[in-house]
Structure 1
């Protein structure tokens, strides 16, 4: 049992948690990826280039897992409302095979369209990457995400219109994951208790009313002695290694075709046979479509062996200003919270990963009373 309730202190519930066992010898791999931030918010709009009609859907930053289904629904609705009866609209291309590309393809197939995904990166069995990886062996950025359902890390608050779209995308996405959880048709989606020691202002700003459940202020302890003030609530966690593999298989089962193809220029995309193209290329969209507002926020995680009973999300800020956070996935316990702006190298950086690991190891050393595993 990971959550044990103790007598109240200062009229707050006291919850004892099993601490994660974090040691150097328990590190099993690294995860790194470039999250596509866009100044001005997600670009969801139609554009004609040559004789092709593009529907852009990119710029979700660190929020893709949380809002991707909602924005894909909005992009699909724009397309279907205008071109549903067009004679050449039944065959559609999707560029990109992360969350946005897969969600878009699923929506298109469910509504009767013939869909081909063109992408040079696809979902791997595991989202690990290494400093000496090459582009062909790297997973999509979507697969390295921690999967904590909080729709932040992208520009959603720049105008009232963008904020309104953000809230709609949040609700559509959250409902999709809850439906998936209810029907149990894809793995990797679960409700998780969240222990948040530092400020939750960013959560209050980004999450629409009603989507954070069971909120309360509590005290938590890892050793029965030291008490830590914390925010305690329930949200969703999406394990990308499980969910994205199942999402891809669902797309294949419904008839989506996958073609391994890399695009260096828009002209190469224009050579496709499809006249309607959904652009879900993330960071690559900035270069392909000359969008100066796109830049990467590089994220990195260190994956430890899981600790039995550690089934909650945790985040705190430590003395050096860095953050320690972990995400309880099925096969690993990824640890990390780092954003590096304008770093275009998608591979993990040894120095950064070592710093992430040591920060977490040091923080939990004094609490780590769990037996050696």
Structure 2
């Protein structure tokens, strides 16, 4: 006998607190550049004079999601050089996880970075478990698939061990994708981004399946697709990583590098380069393409504990503020402009307000 679907089991109307989507509740508009590489992240060892440089960058929109698995590969390469002291360049998602894993492997670690959290691009991410977001293009997906799956599964397992910690650095939430009530119309906007590789089927066993809910079972006026997803409360999560690193004896040096030869003066013979988009300038890596992303942060609403998205909009209910983002827009690929467009964020918040206005109240 086939078991009933979730939608059939749950006949009550989901009770969801409306978002207070008002432009005067915007506390900030943030822009970052995601470092996309068509072939996937660069995780490899390069010799620089007497130094061994292990590169760990170029994760597109999957930096936090894949950080532990990617850094595990990088640290293994660093350990193979036989050193006991390691330098890590960069203090974002990949730098912190590389440093922590190296410490747990018995190495003495020093981080060098021009900026520390909260002033790094990693802090401007949306905060959802999206391990295949702009991770490679479709042409390279088959060759990259095995390595990606290893990184995704390693990272997922690490995140499961962090559930329930103080500050909820990692938590599971439900989300609702609003389906278009009318047949889709041809879009006038032509995507300027490549066809990205879709590797999600390789880890389909890791997360609960999504389910379509009919009209009347949620407060929304159209059918929705309910999904469950991990969320990173990046403020508390990054603070936890920094604290763990320092408590284990890690050292941090605030320093900016503008040329690889400056790395030769560092005392460590082996370095992990986790500079993200900064590697394009530092190592003249033209394979890194910036993808501009912008989010608006609204005043936190602790009672809003669900994600919401449409084909044009995303809302993530982080503890440090509700993140509202336009999705599916053009002009972001190969765009390194960090100038905030507040008008675009205000328009997104108003669009979210329109959705909230149509919600049924229980």
What range describes the TM-score normalised by the shorter chain of this pair?
Answer: 0.7 to 0.9
SS of the residue aligned with 2:122?
helix
Distance 1:149 1:352, change over 3 A: same
Q: Which residue of 1 aligns with 2:47?
A: 48
CA distance in 2, matches of 1:59, 1:365: 40
Deviation readout 1:194-225 (Å, 9 max, x if unpaired): 212359xx99743612122153221366985x
CA contact (8 A) 1:44 1:71 kept: yes
**Which of 343, 351, 356 is the matching residue for 1:351?**
343
Give yes or no for the alignment of 1:179 onto 2:161.
Answer: yes
Number of equivalenced pairs:
335
Following superposition, the deviation at residue 168 of structure 1 comes to: 1.1
After TM superposition, the structure 1 = structure 2 runs for residues 48-197 of structure 1, keeping only pairs within 5 Å, are: 48-80=47-79, 82-83=80-81, 86=82, 89-124=83-118, 139-151=119-131, 152-155=133-136, 157=138, 158-181=140-163, 184=165, 187-197=168-178
Structure 1 residue 185: deviation in Å? 6.3
Which one has the bigger strand percentage?
1
Alignment partners' CA distance in 1, 2:86 and 2:229: 35
Deviation at 1:274, TM superposition (A): 1.2
Equivalences for 1:171-250 in 2 at 5 Å? Answer: 171-181=153-163, 184=165, 187-198=168-179, 205-206=199-200, 208-219=203-214, 224=219, 227-250=221-244
TM-score, normalised to structure 2, is: 0.84
Shift in Å, 1:362: 3.4
Of 44-53 and 262-271, deviating more is 262-271
Distance 1:203 1:165, change over 3 A: closer
Q: Which runs of 5+ in 1 are unaligned?
A: 1-7, 125-138, 318-322
Question: In 1, Cα distance between the equivalents of 2:345 and 2:278?
Answer: 25
Q: RMSD across aligned C-alpha pairs, in angstroms? A: 2.7
Rounded to whole Å, the distance in 1 between the matches of 2:168 and 2:342 is 31
Provide the residue aligned with 2:322 in structure 1.
333
Q: Normalising by the residue count of structure 1, what TM-score does the alignment of the two structures yield? A: 0.82
Tell me the alpha carbon deviations over residues 231-263 of structure 1, each in whole angstroms, 9 at most, x when there is no partner.
212221001111011111111111111111111
- Structure 2 unaligned residues grouped into runs of 5+: 1-6, 181-195
Moved more, 283-292 or 52-61: 283-292
Q: What is the aligned partner in structure 2 of residue 266 from structure 1?
A: 260
Q: CA contact under 8 A between 1:45 and 1:57: conserved in structure 2?
A: yes
Change (3 A) 1:96 1:284: same
